[in-house]
């Protein structure tokens, strides 16, 4: 089931940051000479502003309240987290429930690169070159039973390493959920790396969900449990503030957050004078995922 989806953002194969950086320098050089056009698709991708963010941006500006509520708190505090050994409990309506060791999962999965837009509910965004495997492959490994309709996820609860869990900002542990068809969609991955390197703790090591057409908080980090169920599972931000955060949380420029507009976003990394850019329906993945929500009132199911 791997390789079901190919990046349309850019067709370059970014495997190493250095290679990518070199290429960007070359592109910058070409641009200066007015020759960018000859580089074809890369130039097109660049014109759509789909340059991946730097490793520095991606790993220093994070929301991971288990390590503090400031954007720079996770990068400062997440080193305290022990990610080895790591097991993921897969249970509920599956044929082979059990505790799966992270290493065993990695042996069975095909890791590929996915360059995705990442849109936070707070109206900022990044482009991240993830490495990961399709969640569908993991779920199929455990064998999804026919009655299952939803997938519930849970983050590690370990207050002695995740000091933020000592404060009642949210009802710990952090939980998230997807409808089964969303979970099985080829765009939905479990990320284990960024820029070909191991995913850093502040980004959700050793493995995290990435659902690129939903607001970032749906992409739950440091996952220890995946449960198949026939009922819509509770999700942390909806439990905390139901008026502001729904179960679906699809990126949608026409449905505002009660406290701010979702029509535009600012891409991280543009400095003090960065312009806002329009937010795209389903974060630019409308073609791939809109059919999942046919006939649904997206203002009601926000």
Partner 1 sequence: MLVDRINSTARKLPAWMLYVILPLPALWFLYLGLTGGLGAEPIKALEHELGEFALQLLIAGLAITPLRRHAGINLIKFRRAIGVMSFVYVALHLLVWLVLDVQVLGQIWADIVKRPYITVGMAGFVLMLPLVATSNNWSVRRLGPRWRKLHKLTYAVVLLGAVHFLLLVKGIQLEPLIYLAVILLLLALRWRPQRQNQTA
Binding footprint of partner 1 on the chain (CB under 8 A): 53, 56-57, 60-61, 65, 69, 71-72, 122, 124, 167-170, 240-241, 258-261, 263-264, 266, 268-269, 271-276
Question: What is the token pair recorded at 51?
Answer: 């340059």
Residue 247 beta carbon to partner 1: minimum distance, rounded to whole angstroms: 17
Residue 253 beta carbon to partner 1: minimum distance, rounded to whole angstroms: 12
Cα three-residue angle 134-140-143, rounded to 5 degrees: 155
Cβ nearer to partner 1, comparing 275 with 300? 275
206: CB partners within 8 A, 6+ apart: 83, 84, 86, 102, 192, 198, 199, 222
For the chain, helix (H) and strand (E) counts, in that order, are 9, 12
Cβ nearer to partner 1, comparing 12 with 218? 218
Residue 177 beta carbon to partner 1: minimum distance, rounded to whole angstroms: 19
Cβ nearer to partner 1, comparing 147 with 258? 258
Which residues in the chain belong to E strands, given as ranges?
Answer: 87-92, 98-101, 112-119, 124-134, 150-155, 175-179, 189-194, 197-198, 208-210, 223-229, 264-267, 277-278
CB contact at 8 A, 188 and 182: yes
CB contact at 8 A, 232 and 206: no
Question: What is the token pair recorded at 86?
Answer: 């790591």
Cβ nearer to partner 1, comparing 97 with 269? 269
Cβ nearer to partner 1, comparing 33 with 272? 272
Question: What is the token pair recorded at 96?
Answer: 């082979």
DSSP 257: B
Residue 74 beta carbon to partner 1: minimum distance, rounded to whole angstroms: 12
Residue 155 beta carbon to partner 1: minimum distance, rounded to whole angstroms: 15
Cβ nearer to partner 1, comparing 92 with 200? 200
Question: What is the token pair recorded at 89?
Answer: 């409990």
Residue 48 beta carbon to partner 1: minimum distance, rounded to whole angstroms: 20
């Amino acid at each position: 089931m791997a390789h079901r989806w190919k990046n349309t953002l850019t067709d370059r194969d970014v495997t190493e940051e250095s290679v990518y950086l070199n290429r960007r320098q070359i592109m910058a050089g070409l641009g200066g000479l007015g020759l960018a056009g000859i580089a074809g698709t890369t130039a097109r991708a660049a014109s759509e502003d789909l340059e991946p963010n730097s490793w520095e941006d991606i790993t220093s500006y994070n929301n991971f309240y288990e390590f503090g509520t400031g954007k720079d708190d996770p990068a400062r505090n997440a080193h305290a987290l022990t990610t080895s050994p790591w097991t993921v409990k897969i249970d509920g309506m599956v044929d082979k429930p059990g505790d799966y060791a992270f290493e065993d999962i990695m042996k069975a999965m095909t890791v590929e690169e996915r360059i995705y837009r990442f849109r936070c509910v707070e109206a900022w965004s990044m482009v991240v070159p993830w490495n990961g495997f399709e969640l569908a492959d993991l779920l199929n490994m455990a064998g999804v039973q026919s009655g299952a309709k939803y997938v519930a996820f849970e983050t590690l609860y370990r207050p002695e390493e995740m000091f933020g869990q000592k404060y009642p900002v949210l009802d710990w542990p952090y939980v998230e959920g997807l409808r089964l068809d969303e979970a099985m969609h080829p765009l939905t991955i479990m990320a284990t790396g960024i820029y070909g390197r191991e995913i850093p703790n502040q980004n959700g090591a050793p493995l995290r969900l990435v659902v690129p057409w939903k607001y970032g908080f749906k992409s739950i980090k440091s996952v220890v449990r995946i449960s198949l169920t026939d009922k819509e599972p509770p999700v942390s931000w909806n439990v905390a503030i139901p008026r502001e955060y729904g179960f679906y949380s699809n990126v949608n420029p026409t449905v505002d957050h009660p406290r701010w507009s979702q029509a535009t976003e600012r891409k991280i990394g543009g400095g003090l004078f960065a312009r806002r850019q329009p937010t795209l329906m389903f974060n630019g993945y409308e073609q791939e995922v809109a059919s999942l929500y046919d006939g649904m009132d997206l203002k009601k199911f926000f």
